[in-house]
Amino acid sequence: MKNHPPRTFRDDRDDEKFMKIALKLSQRGSGFTEPNPMVGAVVVKNGKILSCGYHQAFGLKHAETMALENLTVPGTTLYLTLEPCSHFGKTPPCTDLIIAKKVRRVVVAMVDPNPRVNGSGIRKLRAHGIRTRCGPGGDWAAYVNRHYLKFIKTATPYVTLHAGISLDGKLTDDAGHSRWITSEQGRRYSHSLRGEFSAILAGHGTILADNPRLNLREPGWEGKTLYRVVLDSANTLPLSLNIFQEQERFPLVIFSSNAAANRKKKVPLHFFVRHDANGLVLAEVLEQLSKLGIASLLVEGGGRVLDSFIRERLFDEAAFFISDKIVGGRNSVQIFASGVTRLEDALELVDCRWSEYAGGTMMRGFRKCSPV
């Protein structure tokens, strides 16, 4: 057994500080790494950062490799937002590089639940006499990687509901129009939100009414691929719609009922699934999306689609853009038209964060008992 010096309070305080830097860094990969995680790495010696790295995009170098590959200094402390991998995947095990570079101490924010890692990275480092601490920044790390964590643990995409609603919870006016319930700035924020996800989903009604492109137009997402998922039970959407354009960068995935009269595939990723009284069976839709490697899904509406996801509790998070307008109207579409019968059954969102913008407020909150 090696004799390690006792850990001082100074060490602990620095661990939190450097892990925060690694976590901020990791988020630069947001939207580009899925279905793999965002990871940040910071290499420190004598209280100074010598190098750092982050996982930039799916299939590219792991964060640890980016931070260590050109480093020649031994005896460093390595801060990692996720346990290092110890398996041969698209890249060799990062633990081997950490050992070869004679890193003295490794601090990880959390264990990687990927069954191919799941503690083995930490065990390997310890077996080679590298002091390893797990935990600092763990809550933040789990929040940052919530898409990855749900997908790796349940093989189901992380689902976020997105809606632009009036102050009185309406998605449309009395005549059924939704343009524009939210302000210009709210719409820009909500477009940018799309970039954080692997896929975006909309129903047949929205596609016909708005003829949206469902693409990424805001700065910062250049080069990102985004799957567009459309629910079209009867398979009746005309090919002249905007959604059929730009399929190279924004692949189109269509789901129709296996009872549709027209069973002809309109795009290569056209799937026919079961249909019940409420529409397409969403669990089957999600299962198929997970087979495509889609780790996260932003559900953009319209009213019927949002209602189904809420009714079946098939969401993890909600991002609502609430405008400073009262719309009213008996025929206007509500956010959850089918509702609950008793107040005790109302859906509760937890850990809600509110931010203001010109003309409205954005709320992001989580479904209680989300499996993450």
Distance, in Å, from the CA atom of 358 to the CA atom of 185, rounded to the nearest integer, reads 6
Alpha-carbon distance 109 to 116, whole Å?
18
Least distance (Å) from ligand AOF to the CB of residue 27? 13
Cβ–Cβ < 8 Å for 283, 339: no
Beta strand spans in the chain (E): 40-45, 48-54, 77-80, 105-108, 131-134, 158-165, 199-203, 227-231, 252-257, 269-273, 275-276, 279-280, 296-301, 317-323, 349-357, 360-367
Q: Which string of b and e fits 297-312 if b means at least 16 CB within 10 Å?
A: bbbbbbbbbbbbbbbe
- Which residues are registered as beta bridge partners of 322? 165, 361
Report CA-CA distances (Å) from 37 to 9, 48, 295, 296. Answer: 30, 26, 10, 12
Using the rule CB under 5 A, is 85 a contact of Zn ion?
yes
Residues 6+ apart with CB under 8 A from 143: none
Residue 308 partner contact from ligand AOF, Zn ion, none using kind-dependent CB cut-offs of 5 to 8 Å: none
89-148 residues near Zn ion, rule: CB under 5 A: 94
CA dist 231 and 309 (Å) reads 13
Q: How many CB atoms lie within 10 A of CB 112?
A: 25
Looking only at residues 66 through 105 of this chain, which bind ligand AOF when binding is defined by CB under 6 A? Answer: 82, 85, 89-91, 94
One-letter identity of residue 79: Y
* Nearer CB in complex with Zn ion: 85/216: 85
Q: Which window, 112-120, 214-222, 237-245, 358-366, contacts ligand AOF (CB under 6 A)? A: 112-120
CB of 191 to ligand AOF, least distance (A): 27
DSSP secondary structure code for residue 43 in this structure: E
Q: By CB under 5 A, is residue 41 in contact with Zn ion? A: no
Q: How far is the CB of 37 from ligand AOF (least distance, A)?
A: 6
Q: Is 83 among the catalytic positions?
A: no
| Residue 216 binds to Zn ion (criterion: CB under 5 A) | no
- Please state the closest distance from residue 37 (CB atom) to Zn ion, in A: 10
Which C-beta is closer to ligand AOF: that of 39 or that of 252? 39
Q: Does 118 bind ligand AOF (CB under 6 A)?
A: no
| Interatomic CA distance for residues 350 and 362, integer angstroms | 15
* Residue 55 interface partner, choices ligand AOF, Zn ion, none, CB cut-off 5-8 Å depending on type: ligand AOF
Q: Which of 63, 103, 122, 298 binds ligand AOF (CB under 6 A)?
A: 63
From 101, 106, 110, 112, residue interacting with ligand AOF (rule: CB under 6 A): 112
Catalytic residue among 34, 64, 83, 317: 64
Q: For Zn ion, how many residues bind (rule: CB under 5 A)?
A: 3
* Using rule CB under 6 A, residue 153 touches ligand AOF: no
Give the other-Cβ count within 10 Å of 218's Cβ. 14
Contact set for ligand AOF, span 3-42 (CB under 6 A): 33, 36-37, 39
Candidates 55-63, 137-145, 186-194, 309-317; binding stretch for Zn ion (CB under 5 A): 55-63
Nearer to Zn ion, 28 or 265 (CB): 28
Burial label for 11, CB within 10 Å (0-12, 13-18, 19+), is middle
The catalytic site residues sit at 64
Q: Under the rule (CB under 5 A), what is the footprint of Zn ion?
A: 62, 85, 94
Q: Under the rule (CB under 6 A), what is the footprint of ligand AOF?
A: 33, 36-37, 39, 55, 62-64, 82, 85, 89-91, 94, 112, 114, 117
